Amino acid sequence: METKHLQSRVAIVTFPLHGHQNPMMRLACRLASLGIRVTFFTSKWFEKSAKPSKAYEELIKVVGIEGGLDDNQLNSSNDAIADVLRESEKMRQPFEKLVLADEEENGTPFACLIVDACFPWLPEVRHRFVAGFWASTVACASVMVTLPDLVAKGYLPAQGEKLLSPGANGLALAGIPFYFHTANEEDLRMSIEFGQVLLHPGMSCLLLNSFEGAEKQRIQELQSLLPCPCLPVGPLMATDQNGIARHADRCLEWLDEQEPKSVVYVSFGTLAYVSAKQFEELALGLESSGASFLWVVRPTLVDKQEDVEIFLEEFRKRTSAKGLIVAWANQLQILAHPSVGLFLSHCGWNSTLEAVWSGVPVLAWPLFDEQNVCARYLVHDWKAGTPISDAALAKSGVLVSRKEVRDGVRSGLRDESLRYSMKRASKAAREAVQPGGSSFSSIEKLVLAIKAGSWSS
Ligand code: UDP
């Protein structure tokens, strides 16, 4: 396994969102750690944030493709997601041209193309071994593939609060990602179209950023639906923090001054936004909890940022002894800090895996997309999270009160059983990527296929 195959070159192309680029860059680093050269394709906008770990900079080249949206155009509304999906369709031809140009320049073809399966296309470059990559939960992939069936049977589009019978493909509405709770037929049509790529005969295998300890049954279910082998390779984590020096990070310095396990870290990822009213309830709940907090407030976190500017300025002043508010944090480093005792999270799949990896219990507040599925894993399956409210777990956009925030933070920080269960989940995640673990052996299979230039089951 540790043999270096410097001649093997792989192209990776990521869907233009942080939640996709981060795990795919970590996969690139994992392959580079085994001596494989990677050309990492992303959108022009995301190129600047696609940073390999320092140790692998020489083996990973980053290339920007025309297309995709920028951070200011991105948010979690269905319209914005539809825009990013539409934009991503346009990235195919530029990608194919860049692949051919890179191959020409290097005098050798790529041994493998690893393509984010969120794109609705596979590259039409002949005679290449193509592996798909799935950045979300395995459960979500299964729903994508079964969407035509769910629509044909009349279960979707969802009619208001209507629940599916538990017998319908084993799914109740509660187990279906929020994104598909839509009554909008156009959104569903587009999801069906995008989901079809998972069934594409040109995909030799599908790599999953998941691990057996988290989704074993789901992986088996997905395998029964897909024509190609499904390989869990996760959780994909950074091996270093892109060389960010500890002393240069204000958050870490601030955390160093706090008591062990006393801080609630609050972050809603890169896309989620809330109303001004919800933002204020959250802030006031944090304040009244009396806990120390580190809160990521992105410039696009509030629907209408200007409505909360004065409130935020006063809040900042009032709580400066207890809290730190930043626009961006190096999340993995924050979660690894011993002062962090709880993660108030929107439960994006990456955030969920990063919490599990770091052993930090989650106060689960799913907002959109498939975050309700992740939250249910945390709360019901792994017992490593507690819901901000039962209503918020069941329905997107429910207003959460300051009291619910206050109580959730207080009890989440105190709850030793959550911490214990999270440690168990964390152990399973780490074992999966160690020699002998299921994700480790998937990477071994992938590397063998890359060496051979084709997949053989
Ligand atoms: N992230 C980060 N710092 C921040 C906010 C987000 O490093 O201040 C990273 C986080 O570690 C994760 C990704 O951005 O890897 C967010 O992905 P996730 O799937 O959790 O949520 P999304 O943004 O896709 O909703």
pTM: 0.94
Q: Which amino acid is at 439?
A: S
Mean pLDDT within 262-289: 96
- CB-CB neighbours of 242 under 10 Å: 15
For ligand 1, the distance from its centroid to the CA atom of residue 270, given in whole angstroms, is 5
Whether the per-residue pLDDT at 218 is higher than 80: the answer is yes
Residues lining ligand 1, Cβ inside 6 A = 17-19, 22, 267, 269-272, 296, 328-332, 348-351, 354
Burial class of residue 8, CB neighbours in 10 A (0-12, 13-18, 19+): buried
- Is residue 20 flagged as an active site residue? yes
* pLDDT higher at 455 or 324: 324
Mean pLDDT within 271-292: 97
- Predicted confidence at residue 164, as pLDDT, reads 52
Name the catalytic one among 18, 20, 200, 337.
Answer: 20
Whether the per-residue pLDDT at 119 is higher than 70: the answer is yes
Nearest CA, atom 5, ligand 1: 269
With beta carbons less than 8 A apart as the criterion, state whether 157 and 182 touch.
yes
Q: Which domains does the chain have, with CATH numbers?
A: 3-237+433-452 (3.40.50.2000), 248-429 (3.40.50.2000)
Can you point out the beta strands (E) in 263-396? Answer: 263-267, 292-296, 323-326, 340-345, 362-364, 385-387
For ligand 1, the distance from its centroid to the CA atom of residue 6, given in whole angstroms, is 32
- Predicted confidence at residue 351, as pLDDT, reads 98
Question: In which band, very low, low, confident or very high, does the pLDDT at 169 lie, cut at 50, 70 and 90?
Answer: very low
- Predicted confidence at residue 395, as pLDDT, reads 87
Nearest CA, atom 6, ligand 1: 269
Whether the per-residue pLDDT at 434 is higher than 80: the answer is yes
Cα–Cα distance for residue pair 404/282, rounded to 1 Å: 9
| Distance of alpha carbon 292 from the chain centroid | 26
With beta carbons less than 8 A apart as the criterion, state whether 369 and 177 touch.
yes
Q: Over the stretch 359-406, which tens digit does the pLDDT of each residue have?
A: 999 999 999 989 999 999 999 999 999 999 999 998 888 999 999 999
Give the three-state DSSP class for 62: strand
* pLDDT higher at 395 or 32: 32
Instruction: State the chain's mean pLDDT as an integer.
Output: 90
